[in-house]
Amino acid sequence: MVVKNESVIHGRYRVVILGGGIHGVGVAHDLASRGWCDVLVVEKSVLGGGTSSKSTKLIHGGLRYLQHPRDFPLVAEGLEERALLTKLAPDIVKPLPFIFPVMKKGGMPRFMIKIGLWLYDALSYGRSLGKHSWLSLDDALKEAPILDKAVFKGFYKFFDGQTDDLALVRRVAKSASQLGATIVEHASARHLSHDQNGWQVSIDVGGVTKVVTAKYVVNALGPWAHEFFEGSGIKPKVEGINNQGTHLLLRDLGLKSGLFLQSPDDGRIFFVLPWLGYTLIGTTEDIYTGRADDCQPEAKQVEYLLERCNRFLSVKLRAEDVIKTFAGMRWLARDVGSDISDTSRTHLVTEHKIGTDILYTIYGGKLTAYRALAEEIASKITKSFGDESPSKTHLPEAWAKEDSLPEEFRLPERFSRI
Ligand SMILES: Cc1cc2nc3c(=O)[nH]c(=O)nc-3n(C[C@H](O)[C@H](O)[C@H](O)COP(=O)(O)OP(=O)(O)OC[C@H]3O[C@@H](n4cnc5c(N)ncnc54)[C@H](O)[C@@H]3O)c2cc1C
């Protein structure tokens, strides 16, 4: 059971996980699936209320990451997890057709798009959601009547996965909790230190401070990870950067497929997607240096997205058409010497070890590959404890049954609340 009250928190856990985003609940689910129930997750707000509900909602290998051969393993892993999640949570993770247009002027040349899609299909071998194909103008307009035919030479169709990210976090949390993990919302980690008994975590829940002891701590605070370290006087092992991404929610523009678009002047990829009865547009990417709690969509990013979209569409979108905006932060370990769009999306896990007590910190990662990353961290923890029990999160029996989100998370109001 996911709870909002401090009475369930007791004095000692084997593992305390800070942050109830996809990575925090994912690690709890993985540990619980191995029979490790002495696990506590604390989330200062609502589960999934951070970056994990501000994503582009794609469960994908990441076609655009094929630009860097170093990211091919990341793409292959994403495609594998995509196939698995469409089976484990088919009501939440679904295939979505995409249109990748070839521009008359600028943009990626047709042969390059073809090579990319061929490679994407090859990497999806045995777990494909459908092969890419060339689309006629008529067929493209049936899928996306808002495309401006004057600017395109032609269209490719390919397939990827789409989710409701908040629903996914909550399903994973429910699965973890049914297997025995304790998950507490509105519980904020305030301070972390170490003494002869292990890691000491101070948690503020409903105005009451609880101190719990743990052998292992997982810092899954995403963009808040280093702010928390600062407050605890802990020196991070690597430099982290936040990269802010903005999305717009609009009324349904009649799309049956997602649009994979590239801005001709700066080469940025962005998406126009059908999503839960609305149209979702995103994302821009900019370095963000403020406090994580203050990250908000900026007017210039909203203007940028609308202006770029209007170059490709027969309808002209205006600021008044935007129902909601939301921004999230990609939290990455800095790749020294890279500019932001060139920084690899691959994750990194650092360790602070004192005796046999370990603090793990997660950098980067993708919603799509959270399960694999959670398995990696849970394996490190259980092995260090001398336990070889395997993860079972790839099996349907480790998952909670289908259910819908509570009313409080209905769209479009959701984005005013979280
Ligand atoms: C713009 C954007 C688009 C993206 N699109 C995609 C996509 O389409 N597909 C994909 O696979 N990936 C995507 N990603 C990546 C993906 O969303 C992230 O990798 C993932 O959500 C990170 O999850 P997390 O659990 O690490 O962090 P978060 O979800 O941010 O979780 C951290 C949690 O910690 C909580 N917290 C903060 N401080 C405290 C405290 N003191 N005590 C307790 N709790 C605290 C926060 O409230 C938050 O819930 C996108 C990312 C961004 C930014």
- Give the pLDDT band (50/70/90) at residue 417: confident
C-beta 57 within 6 A of ligand 1:
yes
For 22, the token pair is 């996809």
Beta strands in 143-239 (DSSP E): 152-163, 182-184, 187-195, 198-205, 208-219
Ligand 1 atom with least separation from CA of 292: 37
**Mean pLDDT for the chain overall:** 93
For 312, the token pair is 């490709």
Least confident of 7-11, 60-64, 142-146, 364-368: 7-11
Least confident of 122-126, 150-154, 271-275, 336-340: 336-340
Ligand 1 atom with least separation from CA of 329: 53
Q: What pLDDT, on a 0 to 100 scale, did the predictor assign at position 6?
A: 63
CA–CA gap between residue 282 and residue 305 (Å, rounded): 7
If you measure from the C-alpha of residue 18 to the centroid of ligand 1, how many angstroms do you get, rounded to a whole number? 12
CA–CA gap between residue 415 and residue 223 (Å, rounded): 18
- Give the pLDDT band (50/70/90) at residue 5: low
Q: What pLDDT, on a 0 to 100 scale, did the predictor assign at position 299?
A: 92
Between vectors from CA 61 to CA 58 and to CA 64, what angle results, nearest 5°? 90
- Give the pLDDT band (50/70/90) at residue 342: very low
C-beta 297 within 6 A of ligand 1:
no
Examine the pLDDT at 283 and tell me if it is beyond 90: no
C-beta 219 within 6 A of ligand 1:
no
Examine the pLDDT at 409 and tell me if it is beyond 90: yes
CATH architecture of 2-52+166-239+345-417: 3-Layer(bba) Sandwich (3.50)
C-beta 19 within 6 A of ligand 1:
yes
**% of residues, the chain, pLDDT over 70:** 96
C-beta 21 within 6 A of ligand 1:
yes
C-beta 220 within 6 A of ligand 1:
yes
List the domain boundaries for the chain.
2-52+166-239+345-417, 58-163+241-333
CA dihedral 244, 245, 251, 256 (to 10 degrees): -170
For 24, the token pair is 């925090």
User: For the whole model, what pTM was predicted?
Assistant: 0.96
- Give the pLDDT band (50/70/90) at residue 340: very low
Ligand 1 atom with least separation from CA of 247: 1
If you measure from the C-alpha of residue 52 to the centroid of ligand 1, how many angstroms do you get, rounded to a whole number? 4
Examine the pLDDT at 91 and tell me if it is beyond 60: yes
What are the start-end ranges of the H helices in 34-109? Answer: 72-88
Q: pLDDT by residue (tens digit) across 178-226?
A: 999 999 999 999 999 999 999 999 999 989 999 999 999 999 999 999 9
CA–CA gap between residue 402 and residue 399 (Å, rounded): 9
C-beta 212 within 6 A of ligand 1:
no
Asked if the peptide bond before residue 90 counts as cis, ω within 30 degrees of 0, the response is no
How far does the chain reach from its first CA to its final CA, in angstroms?
21
Q: What pLDDT, on a 0 to 100 scale, did the predictor assign at position 3?
A: 59
Examine the pLDDT at 4 and tell me if it is beyond 60: no
Examine the pLDDT at 345 and tell me if it is beyond 80: no
CATH topology of domain 58-163+241-333: D-Amino Acid Oxidase; Chain A, domain 2 (3.30.9)
If you measure from the C-alpha of residue 120 to the centroid of ligand 1, how many angstroms do you get, rounded to a whole number? 26
If you measure from the C-alpha of residue 111 to the centroid of ligand 1, how many angstroms do you get, rounded to a whole number? 35
If you measure from the C-alpha of residue 304 to the centroid of ligand 1, how many angstroms do you get, rounded to a whole number? 24
C-beta 96 within 6 A of ligand 1:
no
